[in-house]
Chain A
Amino acid sequence: MSGVATFLTRRRGGRGWHWTDVVSWLWLAGGLVIMFGPAVWLLGSSFKTPAQLAEFPPTILPYVSQQATVEGHDKPLTLYRVKLPDGSTKVLAEVRRIGIVAQMVDPKAPNEIVKVNIANREPVREIGLATENYTEPFVHFDFLRYLRNSVFVTAMATLITLLTNSMAAFALSKYRFRGRDLTMLLIVGTLMVPLSVILVPLYSVVSAVGLLDSLWGVILPTVATPTGVFLLRQYMLTIPDELLDAARMDNASEWQIYWRIVLPLAAPALAVLAIFSVVWRWNDFLWPLVVLSRKELYTLQVGLNTYAGQLNVQWHYILAMTVVTMIPVVLVFVFLQRYITSGIAGTGLK
């Protein structure tokens, strides 16, 4: 036991503990709770029934009320543990409730109605998952459609981004032509033009080219990312020109050089851009919100916001849908996080 303790408290360099170490570990532990806690709480809440979500104080774990089929009643009835006037407790099923009085029956003797004040009973519950929160939105809401729209937008935008950005980066890194530096400056200069600055005119341009209320209207304005061109160009500059010249000697066309030599060699940078692009496009909110007005075209983010903005918020569905919306990003985090962090630390882009 003491071996474990010394192992856990051992520090690199073999020095002793200092008060700053305590502060550091408190900060890290607090960080762990604050950074992951909200998502874990969301996950837990998403498995609770509507009745449980409305409760205060909320329970940590999700419970489900137990139900029983009672002879003479079509639907399963909810079970309660009731404190009877004689001081004993008994498990009864609720038939109906009128004000503060509930009419209940004993499942074993279904013909005799017992009237109980609702203050004298509590539901019989066990830990369980309300998985219908996840299954029902697929049926009752357009959730599946939103999911499909989001997947389509993300996949298409990422593919087009990779193709067009890498072609432009190839031209900007491997050819000498008039206006090259100007083009590069123009592209990098627009890094400072965020969407919110050109929101209104962009809307009119998109509607002029007939892409309003279409998923392509969401996709196309986002694909010519300056960051992507910049990232790929910087990477392609490191590919030696001799390689390209050798291929030209062998009679390869410029397209073949791009496709067969430069693209495969730029694969690491393409992978980083692909990961970024997937996260960007999956998370996009303001632009789809502006450009899509037909409900069946909504992406997940817009759809979620719409449901959450309704007067009667159905939290049990929204929480479950939020969890599903989080899944791709969590997968990226678990498997590809180091590519992103090294990409940011290396280039400062996001």
Chain B
Amino acid sequence: MTAAAMLKAWTGAALAAPVAWLASVVNVPLKSWQRATGTGGMAAFFLAPNMAIFGIFVLVPLVINFFYSATSGTAYFLQDRTYVGLEQYQRLLDCGSYLDPATCREDLFWKAVHNTGLFVVVQVALMTIVSIATALILNREIVGRSFWRAVFFFPVLLSPVVTGLIWRWILQRQGLLNLIVHDMGGEPYNWLTDRFWAFAAAVSVSVWAHMGFYTLILLAGLQAIPRDLYEAAEMDGTKPARIFWRITLPLLMPNLLVVIVLALIRAVQIFDEVYVLTGGGPGTSTLYLTQYIYEIGFASLLRNPGLASAASILMGLVLVVLTLLQLQVGRRGERKGARE
């Protein structure tokens, strides 16, 4: 045995031995628990840790969120807050015209709603188109498909903070984009201080970061389409465009709908990478709902957790509707799959 192999075996044993020992130690009390309560008690035991954590950190917050949104004050403990009924919701929804945030009492909230709405529409549309195009190309007979698939997947793994910083670095005044602009004879520009370009950057960077994920789902859908359909179409001399509209797209529809709804759900919650990239600016032009909730709930000097909680419930309602839509879509896809 070489020294390296011995070292590996030793460290493996050194790590595994205490774990195995611990497992055998807990076996003793668990055996008596099993004798006392039967397998039903064991089911409870196995579920307990996960459900306790789940209950405390997911279910309880979910329930008290409703109480929270019915109180006011800056304290975080529920008992220190005053009951105000639906006042927070009234405040959020108090608007001269919902189309113009400036006429609203909580103009920042409505600004965030408008920004998020526009972001969702543009980002999801762009995401879908880019992902379909990439998936179609990856589904062709290309050399090194798994390599190319990995290429588009790489940014998906990056942390949003890293993604935001990478692009902030590229888009800043002395950045790579301005180098390219300069080499083509243009004037360098401060992209992220411009309302339009900051929005364009937020959309493109989030598409860049997540398109690999949706491409994978679409590619799986494309690969499930039976080859003989294409062969038959080719034999009939069908044009490629017609093959796409008549065969590929209809058969890809279940996956495509899943992708669109998933992208919608994610886009509504957009926060991290845009927050690092633009900080919501310039002004409030890239301020989105999650950032609004974070700032009103915690970061702002005039913080109002009740208002943040009410806003988060309104956002949650949108997400519930989208998720129900997803389940519906998924079920339809399944039925379709079962029929084939």
Contacts and interface: CB of A to CB of B under 8 A. Distances in A.
A318 B172 CA distance: 14
Interface in B266-298: 269, 271-272, 275-276, 279, 289-290, 293-294, 297-298
A348 B221 CA distance: 11
16 contacts: A24-B142, A31-B152, A38-B170, A41-B166, A41-B169, A164-B50, A171-B43, A175-B46, A186-B59, A196-B315, A197-B315, A201-B65, A203-B297, A207-B76, A282-B159, A301-B159
A258 B24 CA distance: 12
Given A38-B167, A201-B62, A204-B305, 17 more contacts: A35-B212, A42-B165, A167-B46, A168-B49, A171-B43, A190-B62, A197-B312, A199-B293, A203-B305, A204-B77, A205-B64, A224-B58, A254-B34, A255-B26, A304-B161, A329-B162, A341-B149
Interface of B: 23, 26-27, 30-31, 34, 39-40, 42-44, 46-47, 49-51, 53-54, 56-62, 64-65, 68, 76-78, 133-134, 137, 140-143, 146, 148-162, 165-170, 173-176, 178-179, 182-183, 188, 208, 212-213, 216-217, 219-220, 240, 258, 262, 265, 269, 271-272, 275-276, 279, 289-290, 293-294, 297-298, 305, 308-309, 312-313, 315-316, 319-320, 323
Interface string A187-230: 10011111011111111111111000000000011011000010
A35 B46 contact: no
Given A32-B151, A201-B309, A338-B146, A285 B157 contact: no
A243 to B, nearest CB: 16
B182 A57 contact: yes
Contacts of B305: 200, 203-204
Nearest to B40: A177
A296 B340 CA distance: 58
Interface in A264-302: 279, 282-283, 285-286, 289-290, 301
A224 B61 CA distance: 14
A53 interface: yes
Contacts of A250: none
Interface centre among B43, B167, B188 (most CB of A within 10 A): B43
Given A27-B134, A41-B176, A164-B53, A198 B61 contact: yes
Contacts of B42: 171, 175, 254-255
A129 interface: no
Contacts of A308: 165, 168, 276
B319 A194 contact: yes
A196 B76 contact: no
Given A58-B179, A255-B31, A322-B166, A28 B148 contact: yes
Contacts of B77: 204, 207-208
Nearest to A334: B150
Contacts of A186: 59
Interface centre among B159, B289, B305, B320 (most CB of A within 10 A): B159
Nearest to A290: B298
A77 to B, nearest CB: 26
A177 B174 CA distance: 64
A27 B137 contact: yes
Contacts of A163: 49
A341 to B, nearest CB: 6
Interface centre among A199, A201, A279 (most CB of B within 10 A): A201
A332 interface: yes
A23 to B, nearest CB: 8
Q: Is the interface of A mostly helix, strand, loop or mixed?
A: helix
Contacts of A350: 156, 213
Contacts of B152: 31, 35
A69 interface: no
A13 interface: yes
A11 B159 contact: no
A177 B39 CA distance: 9
A279 B315 CA distance: 26
Contact of B53 (A34, A54, A220): A220
A304 B213 CA distance: 25
Interface string A309-323: 100000100110010
A307 to B, nearest CB: 10
A342 to B, nearest CB: 9
A143 interface: no
A204 B297 CA distance: 11
Contacts of A23: 137
| Closest 4 pairs between A and B when the two form their complex, measured CB to CB | A283-B159, A168-B50, A171-B46, A224-B54
